[in-house]
Amino acid sequence: MTESGGAARVGEDPGRDEESLSVFVEGFAAQLVEAGMPRMPARVFTALLASDSGALTSVQLGEGLRVSAAAVSGAVRYLAQQHLVSREREPGSRRERYRVHSDQWYEALTNRDAAIKRWQSALRDGVERLGAGTPAGRRLAETLAFFEFVDGELAGVMARWRVHRERLFGDA
């Protein structure tokens, strides 16, 4: 159900089972919300993910999810900042459409690398300022060690994913 109480009707295929699509969009969006994503970006992202083309215009998203253009705009801004969607011009038009790519999770995680590096730097500074021997300094040092570990492991995980993806889907 949408926030207005109606079921989502997202899709560009008139032969598609809209009820099944709606159940998936709202259900997966709810899972993303539970994981920490804001509600409207979760709904927009899931609608894009579930569209056959992987791309919809603001009008299509607004009508399909029964939300305002402003709600779609804010959601897309958030999703673009998270590297989960991209904007593109509709051919022959001034309208934008928003696209989710098959590798959006890979890109989103890869782009987290810069944030992890900044967090590591700030944590190192915190350990130095608070003192490694203090309870707070130790907690910060453990957090820093965690991010250093994740940073080191992420490169290997991503390389293994590229090989696994190639095996499953070819050069998609």
pLDDT digits (tens, 9 = 90+) for 108-137: 777 777 888 899 999 999 999 999 999 999
How would residue 16 be classed by pLDDT, with cut points 50, 70 and 90? confident
3-state SS assignment for residue 87: strand
DSSP 8-state assignment for residue 90: P
Q: Is 18 within 8 Å of 9 (Cβ atoms)?
A: yes
CA 29, distance to chain mean position in Å, is 11
In this predicted structure, the answer to whether residue 140 has a pLDDT above a threshold of 80 is yes
How many H helices and E strands in the chain? Answer: 6, 3
Q: How far apart are CA 103 and CA 171, in angstroms?
A: 11
CA nearest to 96, candidates 74, 76, 122: 76
User: pLDDT digit string (tens) for 86-110?
Assistant: 999 877 888 889 999 877 777 777 7
- pLDDT tens digits for range 34-83: 999 999 999 999 999 999 999 999 999 999 999 999 999 999 999 998 88
pLDDT at 8: 53
CA distance 108 to 83: 5
Provide the pLDDT for residue 106. Answer: 79
Give the per-residue pLDDT at 149: 94
Q: Report the alpha-carbon distance of residue 139 to residue 133 in Å, rounded.
A: 10
Q: Residue 29's pLDDT is what?
A: 97
Count CA atoms closer than 13 A to 90's CA, side-chain side. Answer: 13
> pTM to 2 decimals?
0.74
38, exposed or middle or buried, with CB in 10 Å at 0-12, 13-18, 19+? middle
Which one has a higher pLDDT value, 172 or 102? 102
